[in-house]
Chains A and B, each alone.
Chain A
Amino acid sequence: MQNLSDHIMDIAQNAIRANATRVEIDVEESEARDALVLVIRDNGDGMDADTVQRVTDPFFTSRTTRKVGLGVPLLKQNAEATGGRLSIRSAPGKGTAVEATFSRSHLDRPPVGDIAGTIVLLAAANPGMEVRYRYVTDKGTYTFSSGETRTFLGDTPLDDPEIVAALREMIAENIKDIQV
């Protein structure tokens, strides 16, 4: 995983597999506190306490097609390499929240990457799911909601290439405004 956007796509994929109809992605960046916090919350199937314990083990996976599951362990490794940490809150039927904390200025903190592209891709590829992205910095907050966007678009499909490009630009512009 080269950047945080890849991690977001990866963890969101876990939510999709857990039958989530809503995924909330929060990225909080603070220069003052030297922190970058990534929270990915879903309303999917959730996990029991025993499973939560085991997801950070690279040799644990719920899949049968292969024997390793690296998504969560890689995110944990990246967070811890910056002096941060990873925590997971989950309960069966209640959904899951994955929170990764990074020291923002640490040399090993991966770049955020193409976050606008990632969010739009997630929204376009999952028509039945609400994708909500919130970016919070010392300068302000920006929120994008795929549900709100779909309501605005009406019959016009969100996955049309022109719409995808326009949404990508819209999110990127708003991020640029409050970036620290």
Chain B
Amino acid sequence: MEKIKTLADLKRIKENVQAKIDLREKSEQSGELIQIKVAMATCGIAAGSKEVMNYFIDHLEENGIRAVVTQTGCMGYCYAEPTVEITKPGREPIVFGEVTTKRAGEIIQKYLKNDELVEGIIPVNYHTIQE
């Protein structure tokens, strides 16, 4: 493959991606998207949240999942970093703790695809030491 040095070199890739997206939009009704928020504060970064976020970006599409991946701050669960908050449309958000890339894979296969819960969920009524 040719080296990509400037935005102009991206043109072909851009066209491919756009064609793929056009095809997808024709074939399915695009409703609301799943929101995936990766906690990216000092505690999260130190625990490897960047790798986890990259993992989600790289692996959602090949699993046929359409989601928006964004970053957020610390949710106060520093002991359980990396943490990821996932909101399926019309559902309550769920916070997953200790999300390694391995667990991110499980989340994609089980929770996102089949609604099965996986280990490491932080209950909403969990009180931290400061409360």
User: A residues bordering B, Cβ < 8 Å?
Assistant: 1, 6, 9-10, 13, 16-17, 63, 65-67, 69-71, 74, 114, 117-118, 121-122, 124-126, 148-149, 152-153, 155-157, 159-167, 169-170, 173-174
| A-B CB pair tally, cutoff 8 Å | 110
Q: Is the CB of B130 within 8 A of A148?
A: no
Partner of B69, one of A1, A16, A71, A125: A125
User: What are 23 contact pairs spanning A and B, CB under 8 A?
Assistant: A1-B46, A10-B42, A10-B45, A13-B73, A65-B74, A69-B42, A117-B54, A118-B50, A121-B50, A122-B71, A125-B40, A152-B14, A153-B10, A156-B21, A160-B17, A161-B57, A161-B60, A161-B61, A162-B16, A166-B4, A166-B13, A170-B4, A170-B7
Q: Is the CB of A65 within 8 A of B14?
A: no
Q: Is the CB of B71 within 8 A of A126?
A: yes
Complex-state Cα separation, A117 to B51, whole angstroms: 10
Partner of A121, one of B42, B54, B60, B61: B54
By beta carbon, the residue of chain B nearest A66 is: B76
User: B residues bordering A, Cβ < 8 Å?
Assistant: 3-7, 9-10, 13-14, 16-18, 21, 38, 40-43, 45-46, 50, 53-54, 57-58, 60-61, 68-71, 73-76, 78, 128, 130
Main SS class of interface, B: helix
Complex-state Cα separation, A161 to B54, whole angstroms: 9
- Further 11 A-B residue pairs, CB within 8 A, beyond A152-B7, A163-B14, A166-B13: A6-B46, A13-B40, A13-B45, A65-B75, A65-B130, A69-B42, A125-B69, A159-B68, A160-B61, A161-B61, A173-B5
Complex-state Cα separation, A12 to B78, whole angstroms: 19
